[in-house]
C-alpha cells in the first residue's frame, strides 16, 4: 500500500496514502481529502468542518459549535464550486511537489517505482475529474436515492424497485416524486451494468449492496429470486462464518466482492414471505433487513397511516431471524408529540422486547424531523398535536431505552442514533 510523506515549499507536511479503496491526502493534519478509485472527491475535512460530497453533486457540511452541538447545512452551489476549486488548487501544488519527491524517492532517475507511479496516476485522475459530468451521469443512472440506514451509507445502491409501494405514511415524503415500479430482470441487469460504468474504479470503495428503494423485498419471490441471482453473479459475496481476518483476505482476492446484500422491508411484505423464502434469499447473499417499526403503539401507527401493525412487524422480525438474517429496527422519536407520548414509549419498548433480537441486530433511534412536503405538519396543526423539540425527543429516547429488557451488546442488539439529516449518497 503506497504510503508517502513529504513537505511542501511552504513547509507544510503532506501525507499520501493509497489503498485498494481510496486515496487519502493530508496536509498539515488539518486538511484531509479522500477520493475514490475513479478520482472522485468523497469527502474533505478542513479545520474542524467535515464536507461530504453526494454523487448528485451536492455537499453537506458538518461541524460542532462552541457548545459542542452538532451542526450541519447543505452548501450553496457557489460554495460547492469554491470547495472544488480550492481542492484542485491544493492538489495541483501537491502533484507538482510529489513529482519532485517521487523522482528523489526513485533515486533520481527517470524510471519511477511502481508505488510512486500508482500515486501519480491517481493524482492525475483527481485533477482531471469532471464533477459536472459526473453529477449528470448520476442522474441518468439513478432515480433519487432518498435514504439508507447509517451502516449502509457507503453501500453500492442497486434500484431493483423505484419508489414506495405504499406511500401512505403521513410523516414521509421521500418517495412521493415517483411512481412505484419493479424492474424486470433485463432492466435490472442493464441497471447493474450502468451503475458499474458510472462508478468505474470507484466501485472498490463500496463494500456492500443495498437493494433499493423503500421496500424492495416486497417483490414476489418468483420475481425477486432472478434479481438476487443477477446480483450474486455480478458481485461475489464471501461465505458466512468467516472471521474478520479471513473475510478481509477473501475481499482482497475479489475486487468486486461485497460483504452482503441489505434492504428495507415493511411488515406486510415480510409477512407474505415464508421462512424458507428468506432462507433462499440469504443463500443468495441477503444479510440484514431493515424494518421501520416507528412505534409499538397501535393508535400512533394508525394516526401515522403506517401500513403495518406492531404485531405484524414483530412477527415478521421473528420469521427473518428464524431464517438466520440480521435485523435493523427503526424507531421514530417524537412522532405524535405529547398526545401519544406515554403509549409510544411504553408500547415501543414492549414491541422491541417481544422481538428475538441478538448481538447481530441493531435498534436505530431516529429523531423525527417533519418534512414540509409530507402531510404530517398540516394534520398535526389541524388536530392540535405539538411538534417535538430536541429535549422532548431526547427524553423519549432515554425512556424507551430504559424500558428495553433485551441484553445489552454484545449479547443483545446495538442501540444507535439514526439522524436522517446526516444522510448523503
Tell whether the model's pLDDT for residue 108 goes beyond 70.
no
Least confident of 102-116, 178-192, 389-403: 102-116
- Sign, CA torsion 159/163/166/170: positive
Give the model confidence (pLDDT) of 383-397 as tens digits.
999 999 999 999 999
What's the mean pLDDT in 290-304?
97
End-to-end CA distance of the chain: 27
Q: How far apart are CA 341 and CA 329, in angstroms?
A: 19
Domain with CATH 3.20.20.70 in the chain: 142-422
* pTM of the model as a whole: 0.94
Q: In the prediction, which pLDDT does 255 show?
A: 85
- 3-state per-residue secondary structure call for 172-222: CCCCCCCCCEECCHHHHHHHHHHHHHHHHHHHHHCCCEEEECCCHHHCCHH
Tell whether the model's pLDDT for residue 201 goes beyond 70.
yes
Does residue 247 contact residue 238 with C-beta atoms inside 8 Å? yes
Cell 417524537 sits on residue: 334
Higher pLDDT, 252 or 190: 190
Tell whether the model's pLDDT for residue 262 goes beyond 60.
yes
What's the mean pLDDT in 270-279?
92
Q: How far apart are CA 71 and CA 127, in angstroms?
A: 30
Whether the bond between 20 and the residue before it is cis, its omega within 30 degrees of 0, is no
What's the mean pLDDT in 318-335?
97
For residue 31, the tally of other CB atoms under 10 A from its CB is 17
Q: How far apart are CA 164 and CA 269, in angstroms?
A: 12
Does residue 352 contact residue 405 with C-beta atoms inside 8 Å? no
Q: How far apart are CA 341 and CA 346, in angstroms?
A: 9
Query: β-strand 161-162 against 326-333: which pairing, if any?
Result: unpaired
What is the distance of C-alpha 129 from the center of its chain?
A: 24
Domain spanning 142-422, CATH class: alpha beta
Give the model confidence (pLDDT) of 130-178 as tens digits.
999 999 999 999 999 999 999 999 999 999 999 998 888 999 988 988 8
Give the model confidence (pLDDT) of 24-76 as tens digits.
999 998 999 999 999 999 999 999 999 999 999 999 999 999 999 999 999 99
Amino acid at each position: 500500500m503506497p504510503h508517502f510523506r513529504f513537505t511542501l515549499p511552504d513547509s507544510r507536511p503532506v501525507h499520501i496514502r493509497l489503498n485498494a479503496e481510496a486515496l487519502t491526502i493530508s496536509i498539515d493534519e488539518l486538511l484531509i481529502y479522500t477520493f475514490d478509485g475513479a478520482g472522485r472527491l468523497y469527502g474533505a475535512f478542513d479545520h474542524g468542518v467535515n464536507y461530504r460530497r453526494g454523487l448528485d453533486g451536492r455537499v453537506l457540511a458538518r461541524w460542532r459549535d462552541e457548545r459542542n452541538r452538532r451542526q450541519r447545512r447543505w452548501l450553496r452551489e457557489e460554495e460547492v464550486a469554491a470547495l472544488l476549486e480550492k481542492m484542485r488548487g491544493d492538489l495541483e501544488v501537491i502533484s507538482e511537489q510529489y513529482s519532485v519527491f517521487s523522482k528523489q524517492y526513485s533515486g533520481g532517475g527517470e524510471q519511477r517505482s511502481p508505488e510512486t507511479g500508482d500515486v501519480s496516476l491517481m493524482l492525475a485522475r483527481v485533477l482531471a475529474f469532471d464533477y459536472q459530468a459526473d453529477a449528470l451521469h448520476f442522474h441518468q443512472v439513478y432515480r433519487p436515492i432518498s435514504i439508507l440506514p447509517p451502516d449502509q451509507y457507503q453501500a453500492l445502491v442497486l434500484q431493483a424497485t423505484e419508489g414506495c409501494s405504499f406511500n401512505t405514511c403521513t410523516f414521509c415524503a421521500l418517495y412521493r416524486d415517483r411512481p412505484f415500479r419493479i424492474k424486470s430482470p433485463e432492466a435490472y441487469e442493464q441497471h447493474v451494468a450502468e451503475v458499474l460504468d458510472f462508478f468505474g474504479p470507484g466501485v472498490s470503495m463500496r463494500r456492500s449492496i443495498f437493494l433499493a428503494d423503500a421496500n424492495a423485498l416486497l417483490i414476489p419471490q418468483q420475481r425477486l429470486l432472478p434479481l438476487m441471482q443477477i446480483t450474486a453473479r455480478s458481485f461475489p459475496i464471501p461465505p458466512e462464518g468467516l472471521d474478520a481476518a479471513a473475510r478481509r483476505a477473501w475481499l482482497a482476492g475479489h475486487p468486486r466482492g461485497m460483504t452482503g446484500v441489505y434492504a428495507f422491508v415493511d411488515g406486510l411484505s415480510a409477512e407474505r414471505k415464508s421462512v424458507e423464502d428468506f432462507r433462499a434469499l440469504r443463500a443468495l447473499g441477503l444479510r440484514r433487513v431493515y424494518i421501520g417499526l416507528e412505534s409499538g403503539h397501535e393508535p400512533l401507527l394508525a394516526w401515522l397511516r403506517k401500513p403495518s401493525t406492531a404485531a405484524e412487524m414483530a412477527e415478521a422480525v421473528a420469521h427473518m431471524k428464524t431464517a438466520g438474517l440480521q435485523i435493523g429496527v427503526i424507531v421514530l422519536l417524537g412522532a405524535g408529540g405529547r398526545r401519544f407520548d406515554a403509549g409510544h414509549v411504553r408500547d415501543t419498548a414492549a414491541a422491541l422486547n417481544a422481538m428475538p433480537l441478538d448481538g447481530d441486530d441493531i435498534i436505530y433511534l431516529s429523531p423525527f424531523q417533519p418534512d414540509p412536503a409530507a402531510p404530517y405538519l398540516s394534520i398535526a396543526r389541524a388536530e392540535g398535536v405539538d411538534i417535538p423539540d430536541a429535549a422532548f425527543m431526547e427524553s423519549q429516547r432515554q425512556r424507551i431505552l430504559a424500558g428495553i429488557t433485551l441484553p445489552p451488546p454484545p449479547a443483545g442488539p446495538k442501540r444507535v442514533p439514526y439522524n436522517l439529516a446526516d444522510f448523503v449518497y
